[in-house]
Structure 1
Amino acid sequence: MTPTDPPLDPARILFEDHHLLIVNKPAPLLTQAPPNVPNLESMVKAYIKEKYAKPGGVYLGVPHRLDRPVSGVICFARNTKAAQRVHEQFQERTVRKVYWAAVVGEVTPETGRWEDWIRKVPDESRTVRAKPNEPGAKLATLEYRVLQPIPGGTLIEFQPLSGRMHQLRVQSAWRGHPVFGDTAYAESPPFGPAAELPRDRVIALHARRLELIHPFKKEPLVAEATVPDYWAPLGLDSGS
């Protein structure tokens, strides 16, 4: 734990055993960061060290990440074997990830599949359109369904079928439906608490649910995270 890290709120823990710890990540917190920069990984390590009175260092595997302005479910592994087995599930695309997003405008039709060729810009945290035969081009695929209309837009559920950088954000923005608060790829209305620095801004993208197979019990494990309080002005249906 770095001197600048706040303690992990136990209410954010969605699942915990000797192998996994699944957390509802707050935004705009980094998943991982260099020393002395607040991040979720070091907060979780500090929580484990204190709760289980570990005298030495704490191992923590990080099989996937969430972008800084994104909230929601993230899974950590507490031993190397669990980390390896969960990482393999992510690599093999057997983990089901479900996101909620508040996007601009009316999304039609109510269900569908989006496919785009995208390319990560070298040395930048940014993705651009690409042609299929372009160096570095990768196919981004997702399925979506409309959940409900909201003021100024639509609450939509995404299930990414590929794991490309910012794919939910760019695929939605390219179709005229940028995520609220996400000005990186299109004009978008403000969202969430006011922030002076761009790095402290949040966007209306939330990792709602994660479904995987427990690495040792071999049983389905489903973790679901409620949306942050600052989503309240969107007027979501109960149970969110």
Structure 2
Amino acid sequence: MSQKPQVKKPDSQKSNTVSDHSHDKPQVRFITIDTEDAGQRIDNFLLRTLKGVPKSHLYRLMRKGEIRVNKKRIKPVYKLALNDILRIAPIRVSEKTEPVSTGLNIVANLEKQILFEDDRLIVINKPSGMAVHGGSGLSFGLIEALRALRPDARMLELVHRLDRDTSGCLVVAKKRSALRHLHEQLRSKNVQKFYQALVKGHWPTKLTRVTEGLRKNDLKSGERVVIVDNIDGKESETRFKVLERYRGATLVRAFPVTGRTHQIRVHCQVSGHPIAMDAKYGNEDFDVEMKSKGLKRLFLHAASIEFTHPKTEERIKIEAPLEPNLEKLLTKLVRE
């Protein structure tokens, strides 16, 4: 049976009669790893447990031996095992990090976007424009907002990711065992994700498969783009099917067999049919035309996800409806 991590309480919490100022100081913490937390990398565990402590600071503490497992120094890639005893030296957690307010509209509206929830999982229809997690100038992302909405959840972790501008099905695990189960399914290609994209021009019916290799490329500006590279790039495959034809555009269904960064976007671009309003890989003229019809975002939507439920072992398929503004745009286009 799963036990909660045993956190050794500092002396200041055991007694209210401490005469010195030791209660102002951070204390050494001991955590015993249980079945839910076993198997994950220590850096990921610490980032979740010690909220507000920067990753670089955690890495430095591990290097200096301030964080140890079973009295030994460990590296950030160390995988925690059942009954490991974690010793964490006193750390002052920055109080600057503002808690995510559940009063914010963007956070409160997430509750309405939940498509499925049980004791193992949440599947949410992620809004376009919201990053999956905070960082690089963002105070919070979807996962931080969900944690604010579910303060009693012992853990909430992303099972996979979606680009900031992509909307649709995103799976969040509520238990470490569910996260491991779903990650194994992703590795063994047992998860099926179908996307809908509005692309430029007449997508050929015969073009059902794109297999261009992809490589991440960092520009001098610091921006990351993905380029086609069939020599040094990673093998990639996306399957396509035409859903609807419009004058000057096609609505396609995309099924990524592999899960590379920006895969669908680059595979559409290299095929000569970039996605509408794609700031990195789009076509300016096509975007101007779509903007004039009211499109304000990337037209890429994770329409459905299918996987084996980690508890019941049943196959389940969750579908996310298109945002009303995307539906509205389609009604403005002339069908062929």
CA distance in 2, matches of 1:85, 1:58: 18
Change (3 A) 1:170 1:36: closer
C-alpha separation in 1, matches of 2:157 and 2:121: 9
> Could you tell me the TM-score, scaled by structure 1's length?
0.85
> Which SS does the other structure have where 2:107 is aligned?
coil
User: Do 1:206 and 1:227's aligned partners in 2 also have CA atoms closer than 8 Å?
Assistant: yes
C-alpha change, 1:151 and 1:138, in structure 2 (3 Å) is same
Q: Percent identity?
A: 28
| Counterpart code for 1:14 | L
8 Å CA contact 1:28–1:69 kept in 2: the answer is yes
Give yes or no for the alignment of 1:131 onto 2:230: yes
Distance 1:167 1:86 in 2: 21
1:194-224, Cα deviation, whole Å (9 max, x unpaired): 9xxxxxx620000000000000110011110
Aligned ranges 1:64-213 → 2 under 5 Å: 64-110=160-206, 112-122=208-218, 124-132=223-231, 134=232, 137-187=233-283, 188-190=286-288, 191=290, 202-213=297-308
Query: 2:124 is aligned with what amino acid?
Result: V
Q: Residue 107 of structure 1 aligns to a residue in which SS?
A: coil
For residues 228 and 210 of structure 2, what CA distance do their matches in structure 1 show?
14
Change (3 A) 1:36 1:121: closer
Q: What is the Cα deviation at residue 7 of structure 1?
A: 2.0
User: Residues 192 and 9 (structure 1 numbering): CA distance in 2 closer, same or farther, change over 3 Å?
Assistant: farther
Equivalent positions of 1:34-73 (< 5 A) are 34=135, 37-49=139-151, 54=152, 58-73=154-169
Unaligned runs of 5+ in 2: 1-98
Q: What is the distance in 2 between the residues matched to 1:151 and 1:41?
A: 39
Question: Aligned-pair distance for 1:192?
Answer: 6.6
Aligned to 1:198: none
C-alpha displacement of 1:19:
0.3
For 1:65 and 1:175, the matched residues in 2 are separated by 24
CA contact (8 A) 1:150 1:235 kept: no
| Structure index of larger Rg | 2
Partner of 1:14: 115
Aligned counterparts of 1:205 and 1:63: Cα–Cα separation in 2: 20
What number of residue pairs does the alignment pair up? 223
One-letter identity of the residue aligned with 2:307: L
Matched-pair contact (CA < 8 Å) for 2:130–2:165: yes
Change (3 A) 1:127 1:45: same
Report if aligned partners of 2:194, 2:305 keep a CA contact under 8 Å in 1. yes
Cα separation, 1, equivalents of 2:272 and 2:138: 39
Query: Residues 12, 193 of structure 1: CA spacing in aligned structure 2 closer, same or farther, 3 A cutoff?
Result: farther
| Between structures 1 and 2, the one with greater strand share | 1
* Cα displacement (A) at 1:61: 1.7
Deviations, residues 69-99 of structure 1 (Å, cap 9, x unaligned) = 1000000000111111111111221100000
Shift of 1:157: 0.1
- Unaligned segments of structure 1, at least 5 residues: 195-200
How far apart in 2 are the matches of 1:37 and 1:6? 13
Normalised TM-score (structure 2) = 0.61
Of residues 188, 200, 221 in structure 1, which corresponds to 2:316? 221
The question of whether the paired residues in 2 share the 8 Å contact of 1:8 and 1:43 is answered with no
Deviation by residue 1:155-181 (Cα, 9 ceiling, x = unmatched)? 000001001111100110111111000
For the 8 Å contact 1:140–1:167, the answer to whether it is kept is: yes
1:185 aligns to what SS in structure 2? coil
Q: Following the alignment from structure 1 to structure 2, what is the Cα–Cα distance between the partners of residues 218 and 124?
A: 41
Corresponding residue SS for 1:22: strand
Question: CA RMSD, aligned part only?
Answer: 2.5
Decide whether aligned partners of structure 1 residues 236 and 140 sit closer, same or farther in structure 2, where only a CA change above 3 A counts. Answer: farther
CA distance 1:124–1:58, shift in 2 (3 Å): farther
- Range with bigger deviation, 169-178 or 143-152: 143-152
